[in-house]
Amino acid sequence: MPYTKRPDGRKFDELREMKAKVGVVPRADGSALFAFGDTIAIASVYGPKPLHPQHLQNPEKGVLRVNYDMLSFSVTERKKPGPSRRSQEISKVTEWALAPALQIENFQNTVVDVHIIVLQANASTRCAGINAAALALAHAGIPMTELVSAVSIGKIDDKIVVDLIKEEEDYEDGEGATDIPMAFLSNSQKLTLLQLDGKTSSEKLKEAIEAGKKACEKIYELQKKTLKDVKGE
């Protein structure tokens, strides 16, 4: 049976209700919350600060270091505390997604630490984390050429679907579901993240990227408004 209706009633190109806020961790140099519906991530930024041990320092530029993790009770089945292979992989791809927007060449021998914690999870956690981290970096005053916006696009049967929920990620009827997290730079609209969990044709992938670009424009508008509101206070 073809996929004709989303479990939560959204249109195929419709994002969940989004929320964004900065300054949520008082002791951090910068912090932010970003939510896609029930998926909530908080990012906190510390630095630039001297990188220890010294042999890890880069004399030519600063280093970005990301740590992503989920609270044990953020998912229905309790997650084992501590880092996992999945959290290490997401930490690294988040670094790659954010790095092209940062200008830390003049902060030699230093590190900018970004800590992302998922408080509540209903799919798209890495994308919520990237959006929160981009806001937190801007809030911390880290020099950036652009913001970074991320969204998870799905292919369910022959439909391209924006901002997957867990029920859609687990969809197994027909052709099943393909999850395609992606991130874009806000001005140049260059891709900084593109992953593929599942199978799809090149035509459908192009369609997914276009859907992701449009969705990320809406996410960027919220990120921009959130930062402007803080400056206006």
Rounded Cα distance between 184 and 202, Å, is 19
State which residues form the domain around 185: 18-231
Rounded Cα distance between 40 and 222, Å, is 15
CATH of the domain at 122: 3.30.230.70
Confidence (pTM): 0.94
Nearest to 163 by CA among 133, 113, 101, 208: 208
Instruction: With respect to residue 3, please indicate whether it lies within any of the assigned structural domains.
Output: no
Instruction: With respect to residue 5, please indicate whether it lies within any of the assigned structural domains.
Output: no
| 3-class secondary-structure state, position 65 | strand
Positive or negative torsion for Cα 134, 140, 141, 142 = negative
Residues forming beta bridges with residue 159, ordered by sequence position: 156
Instruction: With respect to residue 133, please indicate whether it lies within any of the assigned structural domains.
Output: yes
Instruction: With respect to residue 6, please indicate whether it lies within any of the assigned structural domains.
Output: no
What is the domain count for the chain? 1
Instruction: With respect to residue 115, please indicate whether it lies within any of the assigned structural domains.
Output: yes
Instruction: With respect to residue 9, please indicate whether it lies within any of the assigned structural domains.
Output: no
Chain segment 14-72, per-residue pLDDT in tens: 999 999 999 999 999 999 999 999 999 999 999 999 998 888 888 989 999 999 999 87
Instruction: With respect to residue 139, please indicate whether it lies within any of the assigned structural domains.
Output: yes
Instruction: With respect to residue 10, please indicate whether it lies within any of the assigned structural domains.
Output: no
Chain segment 94-143, per-residue pLDDT in tens: 999 999 999 999 899 999 999 999 999 999 999 999 999 999 999 999 99
Strands (E), the chain: 18-22, 30-36, 39-50, 63-70, 110-120, 148-156, 159-162, 177-185, 191-194
Whether 130 and 64 have beta carbons less than 8 Å apart is answered as no
